[in-house]
C-alpha cells in the first residue's frame, strides 16, 4: 500500500511538472504491477501529455502495459487516448457513452440509475450540441471561429463553464430533500476553500443569484459530459462525497437553473480544449481583440492559483458588463455578464 501511494505521488507530481523524461524512463523499467498501481486520472493525464508532445510510441507502449488489467469501466475511461493514438477510429456519441457507463457499473445503485437516465433525457434534444469538442475537431474549430468572430466584430459573447463549485447554493427540490445537511456542509467547505472563511448566508445567496443570472445571458455553456461522469464513476454511492453530490445537483439543474434551449452546449472542460496555444496566439495577435490571457491568481493563503494548469481567456467589449468574483481551486471566480442577445449563435 505504501509503495502504491508513493508511485501515485511521484507519478502525479511528475505529470503536473511535465517531467516527461522521468515518466518515459520510468515507463520503460516499471513492472506491470507498478504501472497498474497508478490511478487512472494520473495515467490519463500523462497519456494526453505524451500524445500532445508527440511521444506516440511511448504513449502506446504505456497504455499497452495497462490494457490487460482493464475493466469495462477502464476501457471507457481511456477511450479518448485510444482514439487519439489511432487505436480506435470512432468515438461513441455522448448518449451511447452514458448507456455504456450504466452497463459498466453492475452494482451502481439508485443514484447512478437516476443520474444516467436523467442526464440522457436532458441532453437528447439540445438545440446546439457541442458536447463532443474533445474528439470532434470540426466542432471545436466552429466554436473557436465563433469566439474569434465575436471579438473581431465587437459582438457580445459569454462563455460559462460549470463544474463542481457551481453547485454552490444549488438547492433544488429532489437533491436537497435527500441531502439537506450534506449540501449545507458542502457549501461551508467551499467557502473555506475559496475565501478562507465562511461568509454571511445572504452574501452567498447573492453570489449564487448573480451566477445564475449570468447563465441566462450566456451564449455558450459548458456542462458536465459523459467523460466527466466516466471519470468519477465508481461503485461508491454518489451521495458519499462532495463531488458526487455536486454531480447530482448539476444534473438536476440541467434545463432548470442551467438553461439548455437555444444555448450552445459544450462540455465543462471545453476551455482547456478550445484554448490551444495556436488559438491563444491568434487571439493575442488580432488587433480587434481586447483580450487578456492570464493564469489564475494566487489564493488568499499564499499558495499558487490553480485552474488545472489552464489559461483563462477573459474578453470585454463595450456591450458587455462584466463583474468578477475571483475563482480557482482555492480562490474561485464566477463572471457575471449581461449581453445583448443574438438570434442565431451558430
> What CA–CA distances, in Å, run from 47 to 40, 64, 274?
10, 11, 19
The pLDDT of residue 326: 30
Joined together, the cell numbers standing for residue 127 give 438545440
The pLDDT of residue 96: 95
Q: What number of other Cβ atoms are within 10 A of residue 346's Cβ?
A: 10
Q: Which residues of the chain have pLDDT under 50?
A: 1-6, 291-345
Contact 9, 40 (CB under 8 A): no
Note the pLDDT tens digit of each residue in 118-162. 999 999 999 999 999 999 999 999 999 999 999 888 889 999 999
SS (H, E, C) the chain: CHHHHHHHHHHHHHHHCCCHHHHHHHHHHCCHHHHHCCCHHHHHHHHHHHHHCCCHHHHHHHHHHHHHHCCHHHHHHCHHHHHHCCCCCCCCCHHHHHHHHHHHCCCCHHHHHHHHHHHHHHHCCCCEEECCCCCCHHHHHHHHHHHHHHHHCCCCCCEEECCCHHHCCCCCHHHHHHHHHHHHHHHHHHHHHHHCCCCCHHHHHHHHHHHHHHHHHCCEEEECCHHHHHHHCCCCCHHHCHHHHHHHHHHHHECCCECCCCCEEEECCHHHHHCCHHHHHHHHHCCCCCEEEECCCCCCCCCCCCCCCCCEEEECCCCCEEEEEEECCCCEEEEEEECCCCCCCC
Cα gap 340→322, rounded to integer Å: 13
Amino acid at each position: 500500500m505504501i509503495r502504491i501511494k508513493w508511485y501515485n505521488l511521484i507519478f502525479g507530481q511528475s505529470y503536473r511538472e511535465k517531467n516527461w523524461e522521468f515518466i518515459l524512463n520510468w515507463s520503460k523499467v516499471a513492472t506491470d504491477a507498478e504501472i497498474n498501481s497508478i490511478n487512472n486520472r494520473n495515467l490519463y493525464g500523462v497519456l494526453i501529455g505524451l500524445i500532445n508532445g508527440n511521444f506516440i510510441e511511448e504513449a502506446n507502449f504505456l497504455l499497452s502495459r495497462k490494457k490487460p488489467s482493464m475493466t469495462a469501466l477502464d476501457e471507457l475511461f481511456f477511450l479518448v487516448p485510444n482514439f487519439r493514438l489511432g487505436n480506435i477510429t470512432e468515438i461513441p456519441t455522448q448518449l451511447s457513452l452514458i448507456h455504456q457507463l450504466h452497463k459498466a457499473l453492475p452494482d451502481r445503485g439508485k443514484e447512478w440509475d437516476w443520474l444516467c437516465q436523467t442526464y440522457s433525457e436532458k441532453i437528447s434534444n439540445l438545440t446546439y450540441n457541442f458536447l463532443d469538442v474533445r474528439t470532434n475537431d470540426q466542432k471545436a474549430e466552429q466554436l473557436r471561429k465563433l469566439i474569434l468572430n465575436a471579438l473581431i466584430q465587437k459582438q457580445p459573447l459569454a462563455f460559462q463553464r460549470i463544474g463542481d463549485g457551481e453547485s454552490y447554493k444549488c438547492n433544488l427540490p429532489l437533491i436537497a430533500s435527500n441531502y439537506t445537511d450534506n449540501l449545507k456542509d458542502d457549501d461551508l467547505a467551499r467557502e473555506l476553500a475559496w475565501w478562507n472563511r465562511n461568509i454571511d448566508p445572504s452574501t452567498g445567496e447573492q453570489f449564487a443569484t448573480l451566477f445564475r443570472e449570468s447563465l441566462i445571458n450566456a451564449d455558450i455553456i459548458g456542462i458536465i459530459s459523459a467523460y466527466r461522469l466516466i471519470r468519477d464513476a465508481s461503485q461508491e454511492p454518489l451521495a458519499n462525497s462532495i463531488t458526487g453530490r455536486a454531480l447530482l445537483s448539476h444534473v438536476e439543474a440541467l434545463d432548470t437553473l442551467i438553461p439548455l434551449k437555444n444555448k450552445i452546449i459544450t462540455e465543462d472542460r471545453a476551455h482547456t480544449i478550445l484554448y490551444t496555444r495556436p488559438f491563444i496566439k491568434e487571439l493575442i495577435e488580432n488587433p480587434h481583440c481586447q483580450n487578456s490571457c492570464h493564469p489564475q491568481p494566487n489564493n488568499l493563503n499564499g499558495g499558487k492559483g490553480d485552474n488545472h494548469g489552464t489559461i483563462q481567456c477573459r474578453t470585454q467589449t463595450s456591450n458587455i458588463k462584466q463583474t468578477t468574483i475571483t475563482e480557482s481551486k482555492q480562490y474561485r471566480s464566477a463572471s457575471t455578464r449581461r449581453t445583448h442577445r443574438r438570434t442565431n449563435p451558430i
